[in-house]
């Protein structure tokens, strides 16, 4: 009944072959994206010199920007983050911190540190949000606004921030992230070049291991913890390869929630961030694309291949598991809500390339990968697959992943060179190798679990723990 | 004032779109890889009875070889770069000494030190380029002339001219910077051509060099190029043009304001707003009545800096009745500065506007004019939104005083 020549055996063989083709296809696609990413990075000439930055600081020509940072139980890192945001170099920007009903001392700390007073600031936007309990501004000459509201989640906080914005552009920032001092100018550049730009994002880097002084990364180092090193490699792969290429092909679906910039008018037109999804960053970008295509308005979502933001990644398996689970649920929700765009030429390259890529490779990727492993083991046990073939399958799929990770690290060294020491480069290359021996498979399991949770109707973010940044000395 | 509402013949510069180049290069690399996989598939022994698995193995083998090659190239480049850097560091004192000798005119003839400079340039091109260019920027008069002569005789200036045609935008940008430091007339052609470069930062660098030359005809050329530049480069150029503001206001800006071309008028008005300097530009006055909203709004914003621009109460009243939000906000932003307190009732009415952006601008206009009584009347007037906005403006006014 189960032999290789039976119907079951032949079906098994066909499915196994399909999985191998899938593995080859997904890895080749990553390779294509990485090659495109490499040539894009080579050509990227948006680097503004520091002297020119000084010149631009006095300009009244550039549009003002609001920086919105939701904060929930962030007392460990909020002081550094707000300082970092206030220090951003841009002719006109205001920092809006939204305290999302924190249960710890986030608000008290902000009140004391920045000498806040209760302000009469009026919201100009009308996106509905949880009740705002109070609005505060600093007694010092700082462009800082703190909104204290009832807990409603990140998307709700961002919407509250958007309501209080006074400038045409706003940046949505995680309050546990550190922003490079000239990041606003760099990430705003596509808006200055082209009026049709509606959203931009930049490279997010792993801050674990780096030295932080006064809210700024002063020394770039590879993370110390193995789990953080794996994520550093993952971030390189995602940002230097995938997003650069998708931006070039006008089909970017995701602007990182850690730091993204948006045209306020368009975000208000589409009703702000969706509070009912855990993937509000991706959902908003997809909705903005859809809105603009439906209204037949030309638009661009651009990825700026420059490091703009540093974020603390989880160093505990439990927290990382929750994060990946949430990311997968977020992607699933966003894609399901806008399924109308799937392979729909009405939505241009987004519908024909960006969206299908997410469905086939980001969403179904973990399912197929785990299915491949399971079938190989099952095939071995049932005698449907020869032992050498099974070993070959495992080796090939591991090597593919490994090679792509190595290429990402090389891409970093060839282009941006943020890690100055050779030791750090060796650490990252080592992590690129080890990442494929267990970590990759583990994330596939978490992502699959995320899909299952989504189908079972699970909601919520789960608890995140912060360790705080490593101070100088 | 009638202004052509259609866009002018001068279109904004189309930023260099590298997309096709990138896609072609990527396609070439990927085709080479595909060819290599096909060859590997034919040459390598069959590892398994599954053809898909065999294809995967061949692909992996090709990728491993490619990565090894890439890794070797990376390693070689890194080592070579480090060696070049070390050599440059070693040669820097000698280069500085030679440049000092040339600038101070200690050598009898330029030929010999120029040959030495050329020899050093062959060994450490980047260091010599940077040091020579910095010396040219620092030295004035005779020293600058001697260094420029050395750059010409040694052939370094010719190298810079060649670099202007390089495919690399970074190299072109460097070359323009270096050439811009040669004495006036030495590289004008290249600098003027640089202004047309598809890469905006190269164009900006050329503009800076031409502005620094101080020649009015070149400054005028940069000014004429403004409408074609992106907002970012326009902001940079605006600052560099600041020190020629008086001359530009009397000539090019006034002529631009009198034209009927929005593409020339808008950047000229933006310059006035950005410079924040009182300048004799009476041409701003008639533009307060422009039919083009973008121009009218900018004209109002530029008004506080426009000496001799006639603005009447009627212009402001007409502006306050505009249906264009941009114009309305611009008028409100300058009413206090222009002392138009007699317009207070009309402005106070706008605090009740349904558009909260207009209402806020109106409330702040009252606060800036110190008309706190008007704001207090709105607060007790009963309209909750307007009262909230008036309270905010009043609070800002009072805290603004406290901060002072």
Nearest to B67 among A28, A122, A406 (CB): A406
Residues 6+ apart with CB under 8 A from A271: A127
A64-76 pLDDT tens trace: 999 999 999 888 8
pLDDT of residue B309: 85
Task: Find the mean pLDDT for residues A412-428.
Answer: 78
What is the distance between the alpha carbons of residues A64 and B199, in angstroms, rounded to a whole number? 25
Nearest CA in chain A to B199: A45
What is the distance between the alpha carbons of residues A291 and A284, in angstroms, rounded to a whole number? 10
pLDDT of residue A351: 95
Q: Give Rg (Cα) of chain B.
A: 31
pLDDT of residue B286: 93
Distance (Å) of CA B231 to CA A62, B16, B50, B226, B227? 7, 15, 58, 9, 9
What is the distance between the alpha carbons of residues A168 and A6, in angstroms, rounded to a whole number? 66
What is the distance between the alpha carbons of residues B112 and B122, in angstroms, rounded to a whole number? 16
Average pLDDT, chain B: 86
Contact B125, B144 (CB under 8 A): no
Nearest CA in chain B to A412: B74
Look at residue B75 and tell me whether its pLDDT is greater than 80. Answer: no
Q: Which of residues 324-363 of A touch B (CB under 8 A)?
A: none
Cα–Cα nearest to A293, from A263, A331, A338, A260: A338
- The token duo for B347 is 């402005």
8 Å CB contact of A61 and B356: no
What is the distance between the alpha carbons of residues A338 and A336, in angstroms, rounded to a whole number? 5
More confident residue, B165 or A4: B165
Residues of chain B contacting A400 with CB distance shorter than 8 Å: 56, 59-60, 63
ipTM at complex level = 0.78
Distance, first Cα to last Cα, chain A: 68
A359-401 pLDDT tens trace: 998 888 888 888 888 888 888 888 888 787 788 778 877 887 8
Look at residue B201 and tell me whether its pLDDT is greater than 70. Answer: yes
Distance, first Cα to last Cα, chain B: 41
Nearest CA in chain A to B13: A193
pLDDT of residue A102: 94
Residues of chain A contacting B56 with CB distance shorter than 8 Å: 20, 23-24, 396, 400
Residues of chain A contacting B273 with CB distance shorter than 8 Å: 60
User: φ and ψ at A134, to 5 degrees?
Assistant: -175, 155
Residues 6+ apart with CB under 8 A from B273: A60, B298, B301, B302, B305
Nearest CA in chain B to A15: B52
Cα–Cα nearest to A410, from B24, B33, B75: B75
A200-250 pLDDT tens trace: 998 898 989 888 877 778 888 889 899 999 999 999 888 887 888 899 888
Look at residue B16 and tell me whether its pLDDT is greater than 60. Answer: no
Residues of chain A contacting B274 with CB distance shorter than 8 Å: 59-61
pLDDT of residue A115: 92
Handedness of CA B33, B24, A237, A153 (dihedral sign): negative
User: φ and ψ at B390, to 5 degrees?
Assistant: -65, -40
Residues of chain A contacting B235 with CB distance shorter than 8 Å: 55-56, 59, 61-62
pTM for this prediction: 0.85
Residues of chain B contacting A53 with CB distance shorter than 8 Å: none
Which of A128-137, A161-170, A259-268, B174-183 has the weakest average pLDDT?
B174-183
DSSP B333-390: HHHTTTT-GGGHHHHHHHTT-SSHHHHHHHHHHHHHTT-HHHHHHHHTTS-HHHHHHH
Look at residue B402 and tell me whether its pLDDT is greater than 60. Answer: no
- Helix (H) or strand (E) run with residue A267 in it: helix A264-269
Distance (Å) of CA A432 to CA A272, A305, A429? 38, 21, 5
Look at residue B59 and tell me whether its pLDDT is greater than 50. Answer: yes
Contact A405, A435 (CB under 8 A): yes
From A55's Cα to the closest Cα of chain B, the distance in A is: 6
Contact B62, B36 (CB under 8 A): yes
- The token duo for A138 is 């600093």
Q: Quickly state the pLDDT bin for B5 (edges 50, 70, 90).
A: very low
Cα–Cα nearest to A21, from B54, B66, B120, B206: B54
What is the distance between the alpha carbons of residues B149 and B132, in angstroms, rounded to a whole number? 12
The DSSP output letter for B7 is P
pLDDT of residue A469: 60
What is the distance between the alpha carbons of residues A439 and A228, in angstroms, rounded to a whole number? 11
What is the distance between the alpha carbons of residues B118 and B148, in angstroms, rounded to a whole number? 13
Q: Where are the alpha helices (DSSP H) in A57-204?
A: 78-86, 106-113, 154-164, 183-193
Contact A71, B252 (CB under 8 A): no
**Given CB atoms, is A45 within the 8 Å cutoff of chain B?**
yes
From A248's Cα to the closest Cα of chain B, the distance in A is: 7
The DSSP output letter for B107 is S
Residues of chain B contacting A124 with CB distance shorter than 8 Å: 356-357, 360
Nearest CA in chain A to B231: A192
A286-342 pLDDT tens trace: 999 999 999 999 999 999 887 778 888 999 999 999 999 999 999 999 999 999 999
What percent of chain A has a predicted confidence (pLDDT) above 90? 45
What is the distance between the alpha carbons of residues A254 and A273, in angstroms, rounded to a whole number? 14
Look at residue B114 and tell me whether its pLDDT is greater than 70. Answer: yes
pLDDT of residue A51: 65
Distance (Å) of CA A47 to CA A312, B27, B202, B207? 25, 26, 12, 18
Q: Quickly state the pLDDT bin for A473 (edges 50, 70, 90).
A: very low
Look at residue B53 and tell me whether its pLDDT is greater than 90. Answer: no
Residues of chain B contacting A20 with CB distance shorter than 8 Å: 50, 52-53, 56
**3-class secondary structure per residue, A211-230:** EEECCEEEECCCCCCHHHHH
B333-392 pLDDT tens trace: 888 788 777 888 899 999 999 999 899 999 999 998 888 899 999 999 878 899 999 999
pLDDT of residue A299: 95
**Given CB atoms, is A32 within the 8 Å cutoff of chain B?**
yes
What is the distance between the alpha carbons of residues A284 and B255, in angstroms, rounded to a whole number? 46
Handedness of CA A43, A44, A48, A49 (dihedral sign): negative
The DSSP output letter for B168 is -
B85-110 pLDDT tens trace: 888 899 999 999 999 988 887 666 77
Contact A348, A293 (CB under 8 A): yes
Q: Quickly state the pLDDT bin for A35 (edges 50, 70, 90).
A: confident
**Given CB atoms, is A36 within the 8 Å cutoff of chain B?**
yes
Nearest to A389 among B48, B64, B235 (CB): B48
Q: Quickly state the pLDDT bin for A160 (edges 50, 70, 90).
A: very high
Q: What is the rounded (10 degree) CA torsion for B223, B229, B232, B236?
A: -20
pLDDT of residue A4: 65
Cα–Cα nearest to A463, from A274, A277, A316, A275: A316
Q: Quickly state the pLDDT bin for B84 (edges 50, 70, 90).
A: confident
- Helix (H) or strand (E) run with residue A138 in it: strand A132-138
pLDDT of residue B44: 78
8 Å CB contact of A389 and B22: no
User: How many helices, marked H, and strands, marked E, lie in chain A?
Assistant: 17, 12
Angle in degrees, CA A117, A121, A124, rounded to 5: 155
Nearest to B239 among A13, A58, A141 (CB): A58
Q: Quickly state the pLDDT bin for B293 (edges 50, 70, 90).
A: very high
More confident residue, A419 or A340: A340
Average pLDDT, chain A: 87
Look at residue A265 and tell me whether its pLDDT is greater than 90. Answer: yes
The DSSP output letter for B42 is H
Contact A200, A191 (CB under 8 A): yes
- The token duo for B393 is 């403006």
What is the distance between the alpha carbons of residues A16 and A258, in angstroms, rounded to a whole number? 39
Look at residue A358 and tell me whether its pLDDT is greater than 60. Answer: yes
Task: Find the mean pLDDT for residues B277-290.
Answer: 92
What percent of chain A has a predicted confidence (pLDDT) above 70? 94
């Amino acid at each position: 009944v189960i032999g290789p020549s039976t119907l079951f055996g032949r079906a098994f063989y066909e499915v196994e072959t399909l999985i191998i083709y899938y593995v080859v296809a997904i890895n080749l696609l990553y390779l294509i994206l990485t090659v495109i990413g490499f040539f894009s990075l080579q050509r990227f000439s948006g680097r503004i010199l520091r002297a020119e930055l000084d010149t631009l600081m006095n300009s009244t020509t550039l549009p003002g920007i609001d920086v919105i940072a939701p904060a929930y139980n962030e007392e460990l890192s909020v002081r550094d983050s707000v300082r970092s945001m206030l220090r951003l170099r841009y002719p006109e920007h205001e920092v809006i911190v939204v305290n999302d009903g924190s249960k710890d001392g986030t608000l008290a700390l902000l009140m004391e540190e920045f000498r806040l007073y209760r302000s009469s600031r009026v919201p100009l936007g009308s996106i509905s949000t949880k009740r705002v309990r109070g609005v505060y501004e600093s007694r010092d000459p700082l462009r800082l606004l703190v909104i204290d509201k009832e807990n409603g989640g990140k998307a709700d906080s961002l919407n509250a921030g958007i309501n209080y914005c006074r400038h045409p552009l706003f940046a949505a920032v995680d309050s546990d992230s550190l922003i490079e001092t000239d990041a606003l100018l760099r990430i705003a550049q596509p808006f200055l070049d082209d009026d049709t730009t509606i959203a931009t994002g930049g490279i997010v880097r792993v801050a674990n291991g780096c030295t932080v002084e006064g809210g700024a990364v002063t020394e770039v180092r590879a993370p110390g913890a193995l789990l953080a090193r794996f994520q550093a490699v993952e971030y390189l792969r995602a940002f230097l390869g995938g997003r650069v290429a998708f931006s070039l092909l006008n089909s970017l679906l995701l602007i990182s929630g850690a730091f993204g910039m948006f045209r306020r008018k368009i975000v208000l037109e589409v009703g702000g961030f969706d509070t009912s999804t855990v993937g509000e960053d991706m959902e908003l970008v997809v909705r903005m694309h859809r809105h603009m295509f439906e209204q037949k308005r030309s638009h661009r979502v651009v990825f700026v291949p420059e490091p703009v933001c540093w974020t603390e990644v989880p160093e505990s398996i439990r927290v990382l598991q929750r994060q990946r689970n949430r990311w997968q649920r977020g992607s699933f929700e966003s894609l399901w809500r806008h399924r109308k765009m799937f392979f729909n030429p009405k939505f241009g390259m987004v519908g024909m390339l960006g969206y299908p890529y997410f469905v086939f490779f980001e969403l179904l990727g973990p399912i197929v990968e785990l299915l491949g492993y399971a079938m190989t083991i099952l095939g071995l046990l049932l005698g449907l697959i020869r032992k050498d073939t099974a070993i070959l399958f495992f080796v090939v799929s591991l090597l593919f992943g490994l090679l792509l990770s190595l290429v990402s690290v090389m891409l970093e060294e060839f282009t941006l060179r943020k890690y100055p020491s050779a030791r750090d480069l060796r650490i990252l290359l080592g992590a690129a190798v080890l990442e494929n021996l267990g970590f990759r498979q583990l994330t596939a399991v978490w992502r699959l679990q995320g899909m299952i949770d989504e189908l079972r109707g699970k909601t919520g973010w789960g608890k995140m723990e912060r360790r705080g940044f490593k101070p100088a000395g | 004032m009638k202004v052509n509402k259609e866009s002018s013949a001068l279109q904004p510069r189309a930023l260099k779109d590298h997309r096709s180049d990138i896609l072609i290069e990527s396609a070439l690399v990927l085709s080479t890889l595909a060819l290599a996989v096909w060859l590997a598939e034919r040459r390598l022994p069959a590892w398994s009875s599954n053809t898909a698995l065999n294809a995967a193995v061949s692909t992996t083998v090709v990728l491993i070889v490619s990565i090894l090659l890439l890794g070797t190239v990376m390693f070689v480049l890194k080592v070579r770069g480090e060696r070049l850097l070390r050599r440059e560091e070693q040669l820097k004192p000698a280069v500085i000494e030679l440049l000092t000798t040339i600038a101070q005119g200690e050598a009898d003839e330029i030929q010999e030190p120029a040959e030495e400079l050329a020899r050093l340039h062959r060994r450490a091109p980047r260091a010599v380029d940077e040091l020579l260019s910095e010396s040219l920027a620092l030295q004035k008069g005779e020293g600058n002339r001697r260094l420029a002569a050395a750059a010409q005789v040694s052939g370094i200036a010719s190298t810079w001219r060649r670099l202007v045609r390089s495919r690399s935008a970074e190299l072109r940008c460097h070359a323009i910077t270096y050439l811009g430091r040669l004495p006036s007339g030495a590289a004008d052609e290249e600098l003027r051509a640089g202004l047309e470069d598809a890469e905006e930062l190269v164009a900006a660098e050329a503009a800076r060099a031409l502005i620094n030359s101080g020649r009015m005809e070149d400054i005028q050329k940069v000014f004429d190029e403004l409408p074609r530049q992106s907002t970012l480069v326009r902001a940079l150029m605006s600052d560099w043009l600041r020190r020629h503001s008086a001359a530009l206001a009397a000539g090019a800006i006034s002529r631009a304001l009198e034209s009927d071309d929005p593409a020339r008028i808008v950047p000229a008005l933006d310059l006035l707003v950005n410079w924040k300097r009182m300048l004799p530009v009476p041409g701003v006055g008639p533009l307060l009545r422009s039919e083009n909203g973008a121009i009218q709004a900018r004209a109002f914003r530029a008004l506080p800096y426009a000496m001799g621009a006639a603005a009447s109460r009627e212009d402001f009243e007409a502006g306050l009745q505009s249906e264009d939000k941009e114009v309305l906000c611009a008028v409100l932003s300058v009413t206090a500065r222009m002392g138009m307190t007699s317009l207070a009732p009309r402005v106070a009415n706008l605090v009740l506007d349904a558009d909260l952006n207009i209402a806020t601008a109106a409330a702040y206009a009252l606060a800036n004019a110190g008309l706190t009584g008007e704001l207090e009347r709105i607060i007790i007037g009963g309209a909750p939104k307007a009262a909230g906005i008036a309270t905010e403006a009043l609070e800002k006014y009072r805290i603004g005083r406290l901060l002072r």
